[in-house]
Amino acid sequence: MNFSWYTSAILTILFWGIADLFYKKGTDSKDRYSHLRIIVMVGFVMGIQAMFELSKMDFQYDPMNIITYLPVSSMYILSMALGYVGLRYLEVSINSPVGNTSGAVAGILAFIVLGKTMSPLQLFAVTLITVGLISIAVIERKLAEEERKLQNIVIDRKYKIGAIALIFPILYAIIDALGTFLDDVYLSNIMGPEDALISYELTFLF
């Protein structure tokens, strides 16, 4: 069965959203290690996927690719870890939109550094996403200030530090964008997508 790019994009959004719900369910603001458990399990699943990809290639893979691709892999893994930490204190409706602006940041980096072009519509989309990110941060801080004034109401600790915790999805967006930017460079000049994917998944596993 062949899917169009649009169908694939919609399915990706759907499954990504479902995954975020499970990530949120698995985090606990009172458990400092909950995000680490998620990372371990994600790494395990990545390892299974890597074995599947290796079998398709008849295990013709150079392990040195893991070292070569390490700068990109480390960016992706670090960004995901920070995103999971943010989920301990933020609602999915706040954490995910902010974190997923990484695509816009990567587009800006490609535009500035690699000299790639943007159509007026693409530029408008990037601007709209950036403004949305800033708006969410401002609104979150305003809500936090209002909560501090309502001292007669008991406020859940995780929401008290929500404005501070917003730094985690922001860092996710920036670091993931750097990973995506480096990914573009690697895939264009150094290795193919299959080798890159397997290298990332094996790094996550180990």
Mean pLDDT of the 124-144 span: 73
Would residue 159 count as lying in a domain? yes
The answer to which of 114-118, 150-154, 185-189 has the lowest mean pLDDT is: 150-154
Mean of pLDDT over the chain: 80
Q: How far apart are CA 45 and CA 37, in angstroms?
A: 13
Q: If we measure between CA atoms, which residue out of 77, 92, 90 comes closest to residue 36?
A: 77
Burial of 83 (0-12, 13-18, 19+ CB in 10 A): buried
Phi and psi based region of residue 27 (left: phi greater than 0; alpha: psi -120 to 50; beta: remaining):
beta
**Residues of the chain with pLDDT > 90: what percent?**
21
Q: Which pLDDT score, from 0 to 100, does residue 10 have?
A: 84
Express each pLDDT in 46-69 by its tens digit.
Answer: 999 999 999 988 888 999 999 999
Assess whether pLDDT exceeds 70 at residue 185. Answer: yes
Would residue 196 count as lying in a domain? yes
Q: Which pLDDT score, from 0 to 100, does residue 34 have?
A: 82
Q: With 0.75 as the threshold, say if the pTM is over it.
A: yes
Express each pLDDT in 70-129 by its tens digit.
Answer: 999 999 999 989 888 888 877 666 667 777 777 777 777 777 776 677 778 877 877 787
Would residue 72 count as lying in a domain? yes
Burial of 204 (0-12, 13-18, 19+ CB in 10 A): buried
Would residue 19 count as lying in a domain? no
Assess whether pLDDT exceeds 70 at residue 159. Answer: no
Full domain range(s) for residue 44: 28-205
Would residue 8 count as lying in a domain? no
Would residue 147 count as lying in a domain? yes
Q: How far are the Cα atoms of 7, 44, 68, 176, 206 from residue 118, in angstroms, in the given order?
A: 24, 38, 30, 20, 38
Query: Contact, 187 vs 196, CB < 8 A?
Result: yes
Cα-only R_g, the chain: 19
Query: Contact, 95 vs 87, CB < 8 A?
Result: yes
Higher pLDDT pick, 78 / 36: 78
The answer to which of 61-75, 146-160, 192-206 has the lowest mean pLDDT is: 146-160
**Residues of the chain with pLDDT > 70: what percent?**
83
- Per-residue pLDDT band for 153 (boundaries 50, 70, 90) equals low
Q: How far apart are CA 200 and CA 206, in angstroms?
A: 10
Would residue 38 count as lying in a domain? yes
Q: If we measure between CA atoms, which residue out of 95, 103, 129 comes closest to residue 21?
A: 95
Higher pLDDT pick, 141 / 4: 4
Mean pLDDT of the 160-187 span: 82
Can you state the percent helix, strand and coil of the chain, rounding each to 5?
Answer: 80, 0, 20
How many independent structural domains does the chain possess?
Answer: 1
Would residue 100 count as lying in a domain? yes
Which residues, including other chains, have CB under 8 Å from residue 63's CB and lie 6 or more apart? none
